[in-house]
Amino acid sequence: MSEVKACPPAVGGPIDLRSLGPRALFEEIVEHLGEKPFRARQVASWLHKRCAVSFDEMTDLSLDLRQKLAAHYRLDTLDVNSVLRSADGSLKLVLGTVDGHLIEVVYIPEWRVRDDGKDPLKRPPDRSTLCVSTQVGCAMGCAFCRTATMGLVRNLTVGEMVDQVYRACAWLGTEAGRPISNLVFMGMGEPLANYENLKGALNLLLSPEGLNFSHRHVTVSTCGLVPVLERLGKETAVKVAISLTGTTDAVRDELMPINRRWPLSELLNACRRLPLKRGRRITFEYVLLADRTDSLEDADRLAKLLSGLPAKVNLISYNESPGLAFRSPTDERIEAFRERLAEKNLTVVVRRSRGRDIGAACGQLASKE
């Protein structure tokens, strides 16, 4: 099977400087503007450490250089259209692109349990995760996901992916006591269907010349694009999450059409071939849909499918969405499923849904244009 081809980038014309790595930035500036090398490092710092929104902010550059940059290059910055706050402390940032599309990014703070009598929402979080989008909409057609109802509008550029992190950091600078500690590429879109741009964004976010995230704190999720999954494993060191949701090809064909192209056997064999770092496991995300994927027979099949794999299972209770006919299972069904997997010696966690009240939970992202 051939790889899924990416749709073209959003906007033509001059290069968006935020999409370039520090080395490419250096080469471009030297070649086109005739500047000294240290100027390139200054510009890269403004873009990827100080998260500048315009060339005018780069005050340690000469006015002449800033004018030349503005004349030859773009600096596409996402606009913070709105911010929704959940009762559980999560935030959903609705961001606008320069060509008028909307994407959603979710900030998820977490607090360890402390018996200090204080409201945890009034304390800085102990850990904070940003859920990043990779496309406007999605072409994968998963039946239980609201993003799929949008269809695919276009891929996000490298600059648009990293700028989601930068805009969130800028917003949270006045809201939270700690920076973002973890990134998960689990927002709108299928990350591996936009792989080249994804890889460029990862390189920038992991770079010491950028925000310098650790690869141990960055996770990329996929519904199962097998050839690109193997490239991700070989070409990056980030963590991998597989959206499984279904223990037979018949069920998964219906719920996740990508399975008709790469069925469970091919997907799991690709997982077995992934070159994992020592001690690292693959996370398998399994959405529990009432009377569809939540039976004990499903739990038994899931355990068998993952046998021999370095696996961790995240159970996700379906987050109900308008227009989609699926339902969440009862707490009793969820716990019975978890216990059955634990009995099979699988590491399993019931992932608590966050941001349901603002449409920010898993499977609920779908911005209206």
Instruction: Give per-residue pLDDT as tens, 257-268.
Output: 999 999 999 999
Q: Which residue has the higher pLDDT, 358 or 157?
A: 157
Decide if 131 is catalytic.
no
User: Domains of the chain, with CATH numbers?
Assistant: 17-72 (1.10.150.530), 79-358 (3.20.20.70)
Stretch 50-61: mean pLDDT: 92
Asked if pLDDT for residue 2 goes beyond 50, the answer is no
State the Cα–Cα distance between residues 23 and 6, nearest whole angstrom: 24
Asked if pLDDT for residue 5 goes beyond 90, the answer is no
Q: Which residue has the tokens 């009995």?
A: 343
- At 28 the pLDDT is 76
Stretch 187-195: mean pLDDT: 96
48, 62 in Cβ contact below 8 A?
Answer: no
Decide if 297 is catalytic.
no
Percent of the chain with pLDDT over 90: 67
Condensed to tens digits (0 to 9), the pLDDT of residues 140-178 reads: 999 999 888 899 999 999 999 999 999 999 988 855 444
The answer to whether the pTM exceeds 0.75 is: yes
Q: At what angle do helices 195-206 and 158-172 cross, to 10 degrees?
A: 40
Mean pLDDT of all residues belonging to the chain: 88
Asked if pLDDT for residue 184 goes beyond 70, the answer is yes
Biggest distance spanned by C-alpha atoms of the chain = 69
Asked if pLDDT for residue 304 goes beyond 80, the answer is yes
Stretch 321-345: mean pLDDT: 93
Stretch 323-334: mean pLDDT: 91
- At 266 the pLDDT is 97
State the Cα–Cα distance between residues 128 and 112, nearest whole angstrom: 11
- At 175 the pLDDT is 53
Give the angle 34-39-41 at the CA atoms, nearest 5°: 130
State the Cα–Cα distance between residues 56 and 70, nearest whole angstrom: 9
Q: Count CA atoms within 13 Å of residue 57 on its CB side.
A: 14
Q: At what angle do helices 22-33 and 63-72 cross, to 10 degrees?
A: 100
pLDDT confidence band for 9 (50 / 70 / 90)? very low
Among candidate residues 104, 160, 190, 285, the one labeled active-site is 104
Pairing relation of β-strands 91-96 and 311-317? unpaired
Task: List all residues 6 or more positions away from 56 whose beta carbon is below 8 Å from its beta carbon.
Answer: 66
- At 12 the pLDDT is 45
Residue 106 bridge partners (DSSP): 92, 131
